[in-house]
Structure 1
Amino acid sequence: MASLPKSSLLGLLAAAPVLGNDPNMKWFPPSSSQVNDLDKVLDGKGTWGFIYDSSHTSDDKYGTYNWCNMPHARKREYKKASTEYELQYVEVIQRHHKRTPYAANAFPVEPYQWNCDNQGLYYFGRQFTESPKPNAQGYWKGFTSEINPFIPSGWIGSCQFPQITAEGLDDSWVHGKDLYEVYHDLLKFIPGRKEDWRSKVMFRVTNNQITSQVAGMFINGMYQTTESVPLLIQQAGVDSLEPQYKCSVGSQLTSAIKSSSNKEWQKHLDKTKDLYKTLDDISGVPSNDVGFHESFDHYYDNLSARQCHKKPFPCKLVNGKNSTTCVDQKLADTVYRLGQWEYSQMYRDAPESLAASATSWGVWIAELASHFRAVIAGKQDLLYLHNFAHDGSISRLLSILQIDVMVWPGMGSEVVFELYKRKEEYFVRVLWSGKTLTSSHPDLGRMEMVPVKTLLKYFDGLTGKDASLVKGRCSGDVPL
């Protein structure tokens, strides 16, 4: 069947969310925290020390959640494995770095322009033939036509919405430099800049252009090259990294989490009606705009993007001019806390979140498992693969790993999989924000040298070996 009927879906949500017949494939709840306690989120103040106004985190506080530039593995903080373990393979996945907001997250009329004249987005094709013709390095330069009578709603300016900003490009470069210092300088694992690194290190992007913008800067930070470097990319519509492949069951499960059938979700919407009225009055967003009112995602992105780039919070426009009724830090912090709660609810607290993530992102998980198997079998020479992705990618991964405390993955969020060998056995260490990830799943626990057999068994139960179960589970032909 193409999709589950509503009655079947509601029945599924009422049942224990176990994938397959193996009870080990069940969802385990996350720990209670300040993030997933709705009463504390609604009644609290500030953002628990989370950073929203700068990409910089001082060395003494590094590891603190920073929405603008999340912590990642660095030589200064990195904990080397015991000498009995030999590193065999590294796969990294990260969210892109900070950007302009998405156009869909703009207010109907924005109070000021957002321009990106301090950078260029390069788009051109180059021949790989025997006698290639040279090309100009063309880049996009946004402009506003005085003649074109069709004025877009929302942001006006020379930026694309979204695009990685100049500051986000700088963060991308530093990220690449930092990981080179870990995996080359400290561990002597990946090849050096003057060695043949191209056969051992590869990079992958999604069909969304912002991941390629990050990749270009990251690669120069890592290998200091301005030469051409291939970026692996799957075809649009079936890409497993973003993800883009069709998964009706996964989409329906996610929609159900964000619906009135989820009492916790409905409760948070009921308790924030006055907050929405305040935000709508300032922004001019109609109260019937579904995108802005099914969650706080749009308001969160709009406000946090401004604050990360040190742009002023918006004020209510009266006759086209700013009034004194404005978003202040207290109001923004409330939106940020609610956004964090929503992501914890969508990807960890709702019992059906594991099934939603395992179906909609299971192909990438199966690809990762196949890389481990290839290394173990001696069939893969690649040492390091870096995936540039999105918050939806990272969130689903953390959901599948059943992270013990869920947060909204900020800009540059990073998960690292390190495959080690000890004698004839293989183990996996998983790093989240540069530190060992802790899972609520009892077989995974603190993911410091988890036997690879344990992890592969878990992944295979969710997706089938080589993703053999994903397509059927996505369509509903294979039961969850």
Structure 2
Amino acid sequence: MMAAVAASLARHGSAAAVDLSWHAPNATNINNLTQVMAGSDIYGWVYNNSQVPADEYGVYNWCNMPHVRKTEYKVPSSEYKLQYVEVIHRHHKRTVYASNSFPVESYPWNCDDEDLFYYGQPKAGNKSTPTYWQGYQSPTNPFIPTGFLGTCQFPQITAAGLDDSWQHGRDLYGVYHDLLGFLPDDANEKVSFRVTQNVITSEIAGMVVNGMFNTQNEVPLLIEASGYDSLEPTYSCSVSSNLFNSIKSGRNWTAHLTAATSLYSTLDNISGVSPTDSGFHASFDHYYDNLSARQCHGKPLPCKLVNGVNSTTCVDQSIADEVYRLGNYEYSYIYRDDPRSLAASSTAYGVWIGELTTHIRNFINGTSNVVYRHNVAHDGSISRLLSVLQLDVMVWPGMGSEVVFELYKKDTTTPTTTASVMAPTCNHDNCLRQVIRQSASASAVCPTYTATAVTSIPTFASNCGSAAKVSSACSCVVTPTPTSTAAPTPTPSSASGYYIRVLWKGQVLRSSNPSLGLMDMVPLETVLGYFDGLVGVGASLVVGKCNGSIAV
């Protein structure tokens, strides 16, 4: 069976079957420079809080982006069986990078409400004391750092960012374990976690793992060598670097910097940043990071220092909003609007994409038993991935931004039902989880099941223990009575029976590429054909495309 599937994927997953060309994103206010410069707000997005009202969840929130969780998750129809999941997300909110701080900041930033543990310990033998870093400034040292002073590292994940990370893990577990019964109860050999060389991703991972599995046991974090990592990414790719440099040097790019001359003048005057500082003036990256990091943590926007004291000349919300609009314009331009963005991103992120497709193939052919992989990465990682997927509306991926790849196998023997709706207020105990896993059987029995003293317990609900519990579980699984009508054939269909669903911000991602489109049960052959066509099977084309020996 596995050999037949592998042969089908080899036959139907060819690059010739899919469109490998760049397609422009949607035209919106985000990538319209006239609208960006004339705007007066930030599209109703959130920059000052990790939390939003329940009925607003899904709105862009720079401080804590929407992700997969039970309340909004759409369970596919019962004929689709979840096989494998790979998650990649940006780290959660943090302090500002030191390089993005102003020369002199008007207030300190302290992180005394958390501990950053750094220690090593042999696998066997002597134990280590859990030691942590405590920020310290020597009163004797005459050399004072520029930028923010205080007990934080710049950067480090803040206590609030750690809490967001824990909740992110809890929400993922709530879907893939509690709702779908897919994840194991423990962090065992069927799950894998990976981080980058930047320590802030490890700070996130520990909280995510605990949020998911409620464990303080040791859990390995996979990490590649510095300078070769595919997740961040840090491997050398001159073609990609040259393409991105070209994108950020032409007249179409410099037009927005010229249009923002007055804004730059205002910001430089308040911040004390030199107008010749290339880091702050090549793009709005530094100002964006500085202002948004403050606002996400409830800190005041900066004012101009005069003789070491705050003046009344300050960055107000309208100035900050203009910076945020320009930052999102830049990310849309770099990663989607310029036609060269697809080649630049697919070479820079091609190795990770090749790893993703290898993970899927290895699961299908039975050489890997890992069903869930979790990658903690950066905005540059997510941006390049969204660029390759050709997201229809590109934004700057905020804190915690998440992309999820779900692999499904279609069961053609299962009676067709519409998607089950799992009540989010139900208690997902062992009884309900078993009923969810046996949704096909539940679809046939639940609509007419009535609990009485003599009602038997169906075999598919053996964990329930009583007819009353079966009835309660059935009330949480809303499924119509199966019909004898043949299951509708997806268009297009998968010869292998495998399908991919891709989620962005917790909902199905829409690509501008017509072969991908709304990425809801796209035949696996199409997805593999697209990725393989760009980067090669198992990233086999990436080295050649990066060094220029293979055309991009």
Q: TM-score range by the shorter chain?
A: over 0.9
Which residue does the alignment assign to 1:347? 335
Residue 220 of structure 1 pairs with residue 213 of structure 2:
no
Residue 100 of structure 1 pairs with residue 95 of structure 2:
yes
Rounded Cα–Cα distance in structure 2 between residues aligned with 1:184 and 1:24: 36
Rounded Cα–Cα distance in structure 1 between residues aligned with 2:36 and 2:533: 35
Residue 453 of structure 1 pairs with residue 525 of structure 2:
yes
Which residue does the alignment assign to 1:12? none
Q: TM-score, normalization: structure 1?
A: 0.93
- Choose from 33, 36, 45 the match for 2:28: 33
Paired AA for residue 290 in structure 1:
S
Residue 203 of structure 1 pairs with residue 219 of structure 2:
no
Q: Aligned with 2:104: secondary structure?
A: coil
Matches within 5 A, 1:139-158: 139-158=132-151
Which residue does the alignment assign to 2:239? 249
Which residue does the alignment assign to 2:416? none
Paired AA for residue 378 in structure 1:
G
Which residue does the alignment assign to 1:179? 172
Rounded Cα–Cα distance in structure 1 between residues aligned with 2:366 and 2:188: 19
Q: Aligned with 2:254: secondary structure?
A: helix
Rounded Cα–Cα distance in structure 1 between residues aligned with 2:525 and 2:371: 20
User: In 2 relative to 1, CA 164–333 (structure 1 residues): closer, same or farther, beyond 3 Å?
Assistant: same
Rounded Cα–Cα distance in structure 1 between residues aligned with 2:276 and 2:239: 27
Rounded Cα–Cα distance in structure 2 between residues aligned with 1:465 and 1:88: 21
- Give the CA deviation at 1:475: 1.3
Which residue does the alignment assign to 1:378? 366
Which residue does the alignment assign to 1:311? 299
Q: Aligned with 1:232: secondary structure?
A: coil
User: 1:177-210: CA deviations, max 9, x gaps?
Assistant: 00000000000000124xxx41111110000000
- Choose from 49, 59, 65 the match for 2:60: 65
- Give the CA deviation at 1:305: 0.2
- Choose from 324, 343, 363 the match for 1:336: 324
Paired AA for residue 258 in structure 1:
K
Rounded Cα–Cα distance in structure 2 between residues aligned with 1:438 and 1:24: 15
Rounded Cα–Cα distance in structure 2 between residues aligned with 1:34 and 1:375: 42
- Choose from 114, 130, 154 the match for 1:161: 154
Which residue does the alignment assign to 1:297? 285
Rounded Cα–Cα distance in structure 2 between residues aligned with 1:411 and 1:23: 33
Q: Aligned with 1:477: secondary structure?
A: coil
Residue 326 of structure 1 pairs with residue 326 of structure 2:
no
- Choose from 185, 192, 196 the match for 2:185: 192
- Give the CA deviation at 1:449: 0.4
- Choose from 461, 464, 469 the match for 2:536: 464
Which residue does the alignment assign to 2:39? 44
Paired residues of 2:89 and 2:376 also in contact (CA < 8 A): yes
> RMSD value over aligned CA atoms?
1.2
Paired AA for residue 72 in structure 1:
H
Q: Aligned with 1:36: secondary structure?
A: coil
Q: Aligned with 1:51: secondary structure?
A: coil
Rounded Cα–Cα distance in structure 1 between residues aligned with 2:243 and 2:140: 46
Which residue does the alignment assign to 1:15? none
Paired AA for residue 224 in structure 2:
Q
Which residue does the alignment assign to 2:499? 427
- Choose from 250, 258, 273 the match for 1:285: 273
User: 1:114-170: CA deviations, max 9, x gaps?
Assistant: 1111111100001113xx101100100011111111111111111101000000000
Paired AA for residue 236 in structure 2:
K
Which residue does the alignment assign to 2:396? 408
Paired AA for residue 123 in structure 1:
Y
Rounded Cα–Cα distance in structure 1 between residues aligned with 2:17 and 2:410: 29
Rounded Cα–Cα distance in structure 1 between residues aligned with 2:20 and 2:518: 18
Rounded Cα–Cα distance in structure 2 between residues aligned with 1:247 and 1:104: 24
- Choose from 89, 93, 110 the match for 1:115: 110
Which residue does the alignment assign to 2:414? none
Q: Aligned with 2:19: secondary structure?
A: helix
Q: Aligned with 2:374: secondary structure?
A: strand
- Give the CA deviation at 1:55: 0.2
- Give the CA deviation at 1:336: 0.4
User: In 2 relative to 1, CA 425–271 (structure 1 residues): closer, same or farther, beyond 3 Å?
Assistant: same
- Give the CA deviation at 1:402: 0.2
- Give the CA deviation at 1:442: 0.4
- Choose from 436, 439, 460 the match for 2:508: 436
Paired AA for residue 206 in structure 1:
T
Paired AA for residue 35 in structure 2:
K
User: 1:42-90: CA deviations, max 9, x gaps?
Assistant: 1011111100000001110000000000000010110001100110000
Q: Aligned with 1:73: secondary structure?
A: coil
Rounded Cα–Cα distance in structure 2 between residues aligned with 1:393 and 1:49: 25
Rounded Cα–Cα distance in structure 1 between residues aligned with 2:379 and 2:287: 16
Rounded Cα–Cα distance in structure 1 between residues aligned with 2:526 and 2:308: 61
- Give the CA deviation at 1:478: 1.6
User: In 2 relative to 1, CA 341–225 (structure 1 residues): closer, same or farther, beyond 3 Å?
Assistant: same
Rounded Cα–Cα distance in structure 1 between residues aligned with 2:379 and 2:292: 14
Paired AA for residue 308 in structure 2:
G
Rounded Cα–Cα distance in structure 1 between residues aligned with 2:505 and 2:257: 30
- Give the CA deviation at 1:22: 9.2
Rounded Cα–Cα distance in structure 1 between residues aligned with 2:58 and 2:26: 20
Paired AA for residue 181 in structure 1:
G
- Give the CA deviation at 1:24: 2.3
- Give the CA deviation at 1:23: 8.4
Identity over aligned pairs, percent: 60
User: 1:203-245: CA deviations, max 9, x gaps?
Assistant: 1000000000000111111011111110011111100000010
- Give the CA deviation at 1:264: 2.1
User: In 2 relative to 1, CA 354–328 (structure 1 residues): closer, same or farther, beyond 3 Å?
Assistant: same
Rounded Cα–Cα distance in structure 2 between residues aligned with 1:86 and 1:101: 43
Rounded Cα–Cα distance in structure 2 between residues aligned with 1:21 and 1:458: 9
Rounded Cα–Cα distance in structure 1 between residues aligned with 2:89 and 2:105: 30
* More displaced 10-residue stretch of structure 1: 358-367 or 466-475: 466-475
Which residue does the alignment assign to 1:367? 355
